[in-house]
Amino acid sequence: MSRFLLAIIAIASPLAALCRAADDAPEGPAPEGMVWIPGGEFSMGSDFRLARPDEQPIHRVRVDGFWMDRTEVTNAQFREFVEATGYVTVAEKAPDVEEIMAQLPPGTPPPKEEDLVAASLVFTPTRGPVPLNNVGAWWRWEPGANWKHPEGPDSTLEGRDDYPVVQVAWYDAVAYCKWAGKRLPTEAEWERAARGGIEGAPFVWGDAPLSDDEPQVNIWQGSFPYKNTKRDGYMTAAPVGTYPPNGFGLVDMGGNVWEWTADWFHRDAYSLLERQLGEGVVAVNPQGPAKSFDPSQPYTPQRSTRGGSFLCSDSYCSSYRPSARMGCSPDTGLSHTGFRCVKSAKSN
C-alpha cells in the first residue's frame, strides 16, 4: 500500500536435518553472516485454515541453491551502508505529488501542501477495539519518522544496533543489496528458505501450535490493535535472533518484521503461473509476475513482502506463516517492514 494512501485512510527438526543432507553448497567459505539454502523442489502455497486466496493454488517449484542472510538486515548494518554511500532513504524525502496522484483513483483531491513533508508510517495502538478492515485506525503519518527515528522524531536507535532496520522502502532495500553485492530474494526463494526443509508445514517452525509460554516468533499477543500482553517480551520488533532458528539456520523468518522480496505482488500470481506452464508442471526458478495487481488498490503498483511482523496474530493477519504474502508500494516505509538479502552461488 502507498505510504501516503495509508496515511489517508523456529526450531530445527529431524526432518529438516534429512532435507539438508543433500546440501549442494559451492566450495569455499560462506559469505559472512549468510546461510546456504540448498536447491530443491517444494510445494509453494498453502491450503491451511489460515491461508488466503492469494496463497493458492499450491504448486510445485524448484529453485537453485543460494546464500541468504541469517538475519534481517540490522540498524548497524544499514548505518554502515549509509555512512559509506551518503544514501538518503525514501522516508527522508518529501513525497512527490505527481507520484501520489498516480496511485489514487481519478478525481481524488490532491493532498494538502502541509502533508507533503518527509514522513513515514508508524504503528499506533488504538484505545480500544476497532473494525479490523480499517488499517488507517492504527497507522499514523508521522513527519520525521525514518530508519533513524522509526517511531518518529523523538525516537532513536540507541541500544538498537542489533534490531532489524525498518522504515525502509523497497527502493532502499534494493540500494543496500546492490552496495553489499547481493540482491533481494524472489518469493519462491524466500518461501523455500522459510520452510526450512519441512515440506508442507503451516508454520516456519513446523506443525506445533503457537506457544505463549515459549514463543517461537515475535507476534502480537493479546487483542489487536489495542492490547499487547507482551508475553514474548516485546511490544514491537525484537533483536534479530531472539527466537530459535528454522531448519536451515535462519532466524525471524516468521514475525518480527515483514521482509521485501524482488517480485511484483499479484493476487492471482499462482493461478497465472499454472495457466502459463500447465497444470502439474514444476516451475523452475520463477521470477514472479510481469506486473502487479491488487483489486483493493488497482492504481498502486506493489512489491511482495513476506514473513509477517510483530503485529500479526490469529485474530488479525496471521502472516507469520511461510506461504503468507502481502503487497506494498515500493515507495512505502513502515515501522514493521525490513528485509534480508540473498546471493546466488555463482556470485560467491
Q: What is the mean pLDDT of the chain?
A: 91
| Backbone region of residue 33 per phi and psi (left: phi > 0; alpha: psi in -120 to 50; beta: other values) | left
Q: What is the pLDDT of residue 99?
A: 83
Whether 30 is covered by a domain: the verdict is: no
Report how many domains make up the chain: 1
The tens digit of pLDDT for each residue in 291-346 reads: 999 999 999 999 999 999 999 987 888 999 999 999 999 999 999 999 999 999 87
Helices (H), the chain: 3-8, 14-20, 75-85, 97-102, 170-180, 187-195, 269-277
Whether 119 is covered by a domain: the verdict is: yes
Grid cell at residue 244: 530459535
Grid cell at residue 249: 539456520
Residue 21 has pLDDT above 80, yes or no: no
The tens digit of pLDDT for each residue in 199-249 reads: 889 999 999 988 888 899 999 999 999 999 999 899 999 999 999 999 999
129, amino acid identity: P
Q: How many CA atoms lie within 13 A of 219 on its CB side?
A: 27
Indicate the pTM of the whole model.
0.91
Measured CA to CA in angstroms, residue 347 lies from 182, 285, 333, 343 at distances of 9, 16, 29, 7
Q: What is the pLDDT of residue 101?
A: 84
265, 327 Cβ separation under 8 angstroms: yes
Percent of the chain scored above 70 by pLDDT?
93
Q: Which domain holds residue 240?
A: 3-18+52-347
Whether 340 is covered by a domain: the verdict is: yes
Residue 114 has pLDDT above 90, yes or no: no
Whether 46 is covered by a domain: the verdict is: no
Whether 32 is covered by a domain: the verdict is: no
Whether 35 is covered by a domain: the verdict is: no
The tens digit of pLDDT for each residue in 25-84 reads: 788 889 999 999 999 999 999 999 999 999 999 999 999 999 999 999 999 999 999 999
Whether 240 is covered by a domain: the verdict is: yes
Here the CATH number for the domain that contains residue 150 is: 3.90.1580.10
Whether 37 is covered by a domain: the verdict is: no
